[in-house]
Structure 1
Amino acid sequence: MNTLIHDSIFEAARRTPDAAALAYGARRCSYADLAGLVASVALLLREQGLAPGTRVAVYMEKRIENVAAMFGAAAAGCVFVPVNPLLKPEQVAYILADCNVRLLATTADRLASLAPALAACPDLETVLLAEADAQGAPGTALRTLAWNAVTACAAGAFDPTAARRIDADMAAILYTSGSTGAPKGVVLSHRNLVAGAASVASYLDLRASDRILSVLPLSFDYGLSQLTTAFLRGASVVLMNYLFPKDIVAMVASERITVLAAVPPLWNALARLEWPAGCSLRFITNSGGAMPPVTVEALRGRLPSTQIFLMYGLTEAFRSTYLPPSELERRPGSMGKAIPNAEVLVVRPDGSLCDDDEPGELVHRGALVAMGYWNDPERTAQRFRPAPGREAGLPLPELAVWSGDTVRRDSEGYLYFIGRSDEMIKVSGYRISPTEIESVVQATGLVLEAAAFGVDDGQLGQAIALVAQVPDPDAFDPAALLAECRRRLPAYMVPAPDLVKLQGDGLPRNPNGKIDRKLLRQTLYTEAQATP
């Protein structure tokens, strides 16, 4: 029985050692090869004196070393922290410092760009580079190991019981934007990850014969899930760092891909492309936002033999609902029912359950509920609260995730998304804090004050609008501000050029003294309607 997240790799290697586990470019890695790499990474980390529970960050593009580092850290009893490769050095340094990372696995070029920011990471001691003979970055006093230090470790010497861990222990921390600006680390246990993989593999009917194309970041719970579900069933994953949507179509054909997961903006683009006749895709999945009905219909037309699974999830509970392909026509706009081994409730503000078709907050309970936010009891207490409707005789409360999302349930139990109660912006599947953007914009020194908010966008889900107060709007060059944003922020967090508005007076406030983003959004919409 697999109880720890890395167990599935070793079990697949025992069962089908020669089966394909990973592909990256021309490189191929069997389950026996992958198990050996994971064991060698675990041995190396133990040799470095990393105690169980120590955080190990992985900051690199998708490649075989990335996967080996994450699962090797878990096998060593450590906690892996996948970092989005799109993040800028200051953002990466914040994550490393926030969860006290001791060892960072990265590449030589990324280390060189990170070096100036690593002074803010006092707990970081060691860097493991993905290249065989790479050297350390000048100007850092960190111990630097090349990948040949991993391959030098004899995998056969690995003892999985040396670091005694159970399924309730931490396995990973995934960072996602927080409503107050600073990213928050969602702590996941081995039980969370294993239960999530089992649930998803079950309702998708994932098979050992499946070939999964990994196009989503592995720092994204949806992207990480493709690895955990594949390894559970002994399926194969093709790692891809794509440039254009057409590259994905070509890769599906050349690698005979049967499973593809993406977020709505990417599906919008893929739905406009020509797909080869007799496409190998058995099913596709969507999460990270609602897929527009027109995109669903376009994909059904282009991929007539491919099943479409629409899903809803949040990092704090990984996945909550799915809509079976058979219900697409009958229930347009539905986010489906609860996934196996989870209960999804619709709750009033007083904690009582809503009636049919009555809007309420989505509350998720079950084995997938995360352990909370790293080192943040206040925000943890806001989002992780006792599950409603529990028996009064139970002295210890069961914690559930209160999502902040408003939904309704119809008479047959199918859920429909209504809206969010917070101010988070969702672009291309990424949840983005407006205050995180605002703090970066104001740090440029070019503006006096700034407010960011999301506006509906047919391709991205939402686009980022920015209203900034500047001393002289007529003399200010918005291109200079956007250039600074591109230098300091990943592309998905940069405001849309046509949605940047400059003004000389202060920004409006609500009664609590906070920036009134709702009013700014309404003003922007009104002005857009009045513009010929």
Structure 2
Amino acid sequence: MIPLDPVPHPIDHLPGRGAPGDIAIADRAGEMTYAELEKTVGSLAGWLAGQGLQPGDRVASWLPKTRMACLIPLAAPRAGLVHVPINPLLKRAQVAHILADSGAGLIITQHARASTLEPGDVPTSCCQFVEDDVGHADVMPPSGADPQALAAILYTSGSTGQPKGVMLSHANLWLGAISVAHYLKITPADRTLCVLPFNFDYGQNQLFSTWAAGGSVVPLDYLTPRDVIKAVDRYGATTLAGVPPLWSQLLDNNWPDDVAAKLQRLTNSGGALTVRMVRALRARFPAADLCPMYGITEAFRSTYLDPALVDAHPESMGRAIPFAEVMAVRANGTRADVGEVGELVHAGPLVSMGYWRDAARTAERYRPAPPFFESGGMAVFSGDQVIEGFDGLFRFVGRQDEMIKSAGNRISPTEVEEAVLAGGEATEAVAIGVPDDRLGQVIVVVARANGSAEVAEQALRDRLRRDLPSFMQPARYHWRNALPRNANGKLDRAALRAEVAS
């Protein structure tokens, strides 16, 4: 187990945590040692520094899990720049929004992705490169950056409007890596199969926590669950991080006993595991530790359940992770009693720096920690309702906001509604998350058609397949002649949600 050192360092110092000759990355291109990782990160940082950008400028990446996608989260901060990873599943409209909102001065992508962008999607002030054209430069040494300086902006959907950027410091990223590596007990002998997108904090931490412990990462873009099973076998993966829909898919497939036995550690976040799924995972992977976790991008990770407690408490989200202080708080700001529902509030050094260029929304979510917190400083008020039990374990109750969480993705209902209305097929629309056994939630749209509902739905489905990523596609449409309104004249979302969910 790595030591739990609370002193943060610049995030680009992570390659120095591994022995030079040990393997840092293993993929179809071969193996990269820690010495090679350090040299390549330094060379990429040198190239970025030579592109005419100023310290603090943003560098975006829109990539699958290539070597570049693994390296740029370290190289950009080493060059004094801020990394903005973009979900590879997003389409041109969402990419254009993130580039404009972040003020990115440079984007690195691929030819196929670049060809989907239209004039105006990439701001004139943003230089565009495909990863094959990125050159080499003199190796920059590890930076001497202030650990509290901005290192990355991760875009996450809000309950209203377009995705918002969460600002993460070097310290946020470094301490998150150390914390996870410590409580998961990762060692240099471990190999982490990285199947989650790197634009998520959970996905990016697959890299950072493994490198903090001196282990190896195996980046994998998979098409089917069989690809994951084959990769576990081929690379001897010991650690696999997933979200509930992935576990459902993997459990539906046949695992040879010798392959399943290679996995020593399973971690889950992005949605709660059901008790049935916990039991199924424990039965299929009896030799592996199962570690359920809860997190929010605004504070990275809040709680984890010790694998030793999973069988007895499969419904629990656990206790605070190292460097986090977590409590249930009443609406009046006092601490909720044991067994009483309260809002999960998170304080400590993992709390991020707020939302990029959005002081109003930052003030709504980030507030001074209540006086009974030892950490002090700013806290994140999660909007999630939890109960702390007499055993000190937290249990999830529900969400305060209207966010839809499907297949591990947080989806803004407003963003879906805006996309539905953009083509004129519908004149009014409300997007609602409805419980689903496999995905957590699916998107149901209640709408008023502009003409024939049948014609509108077909045209809408065809258009949204082009305009939205797969995880944002509505599963069903309910067409109405009129949508209910409340006393203020606004669409009555609560009534529609209750009706659709019944």
Report Cα offsets for 1:234-277 as digits up to 9, x if no partner.
Answer: 11000100001121111111111000000001111112222121
Task: Name which of 448, 457, 461 aligns with 1:478.
Answer: 457
Q: Secondary structure at the match of 2:318?
A: strand
Which residue identity does 1:470 align to in structure 2?
A: A
Q: What residue number does 1:128 align with?
A: 129
Q: What residue number does 2:248 align with?
A: 268
Find the aligned partners of 2:452 and 2:499 in 1 and give their Cα distance: 18
> Superposition pairs for residues 188-227 of structure 1, below 5 Å?
188-227=168-207
CA contact (8 A) 1:69 1:105 kept: no
Task: Name which of 376, 382, 406 aligns with 1:427.
Answer: 406
Cα RMSD (Å) of the superposition?
Answer: 1.7
Task: Give 5+ residue unaligned stretches, structure 2.
Answer: 1-6
Find the aligned partners of 2:163 and 2:40 in 1 and give their Cα distance: 31
- Identity of paired residues, percent? 45
Shift of 1:17: 1.6
Which residue identity does 1:5 align to in structure 2?
A: I
Q: Which moved more, 1:30-39 or 1:195-204?
A: 30-39
Task: Name which of 54, 59, 67 aligns with 1:56.
Answer: 59
Q: Secondary structure at the match of 1:448?
A: strand
Q: Does 1:5 align with 2:11?
A: yes
Report Cα offsets for 1:503-526 as digits up to 9, x if no partner.
Answer: 222x22233443222211222244
Report Cα offsets for 1:318-351 as digits up to 9, x if no partner.
Answer: 0000011111122231100000111101101111
Q: What residue number does 1:510 align with?
A: 486
Q: What residue number does 1:143 align with?
A: none
Q: Does 1:25 align with 2:32?
A: no
Instruction: Give the TM-score normalised by the residue count of structure 2.
Output: 0.95
Q: What residue number does 1:241 align with?
A: 221
Task: Name which of 420, 435, 440 aligns with 1:461.
Answer: 440
Q: Does 1:378 align with 2:378?
A: no
Q: Which moved more, 1:103-112 or 1:75-84?
A: 103-112
Find the aligned partners of 2:142 and 2:286 in 1 and give their Cα distance: 46
Task: Give 5+ residue unaligned stretches, structure 1.
Answer: 132-145, 527-532
Shift of 1:233: 1.1
Which residue identity does 1:175 align to in structure 2?
A: Y
Which residue identity does 1:214 align to in structure 2?
A: C
Find the aligned partners of 2:458 and 2:189 in 1 and give their Cα distance: 50
Higher RCO structure, 1 or 2 (CA under 8 Å, sep 6+): 2
CA shift in 2, pair 1:434/1:4, >3 Å: same
CA shift in 2, pair 1:477/1:94, >3 Å: closer
Shift of 1:83: 0.4
CA contact (8 A) 2:306 2:318 kept: yes
Report Cα offsets for 1:199-242 as digits up to 9, x if no partner.
Answer: 11111001111000000000011000001101111110001000
Report Cα offsets for 1:442-494 as digits up to 9, x if no partner.
Answer: 11111111110100000000000001111334553412211111111000000
Q: Which runs of 4+ in 1 moved over 6 A?
A: none
CA shift in 2, pair 1:405/1:439, >3 Å: same
Task: Name which of 33, 36, 47 aligns with 1:44.
Answer: 47
Shift of 1:61: 0.5
> Superposition pairs for residues 29-178 of structure 1, below 5 Å?
29-119=32-122, 121-124=123-126, 126-131=127-132, 146-147=133-134, 149-150=135-136, 153-155=137-139, 158-161=140-143, 164-178=144-158
Shift of 1:117: 4.1
Q: What residue number does 1:141 align with?
A: none
Instruction: Give the TM-score normalised by the residue count of structure 1.
Output: 0.90
Find the aligned partners of 1:390 and 1:302 in 2 and give their Cα distance: 43
Shift of 1:398: 1.2
Q: Secondary structure at the match of 2:116?
A: helix
Shift of 1:170: 0.3
CA contact (8 A) 1:97 1:122 kept: no
Find the aligned partners of 2:60 and 2:29 in 1 and give their Cα distance: 26
Q: What residue number does 1:500 align with?
A: 477
Q: What residue number does 2:3 align with?
A: none
Q: Does 1:332 align with 2:338?
A: no
Find the aligned partners of 1:295 and 1:391 in 2 and give their Cα distance: 34
Find the aligned partners of 2:167 and 2:299 in 1 and give their Cα distance: 10
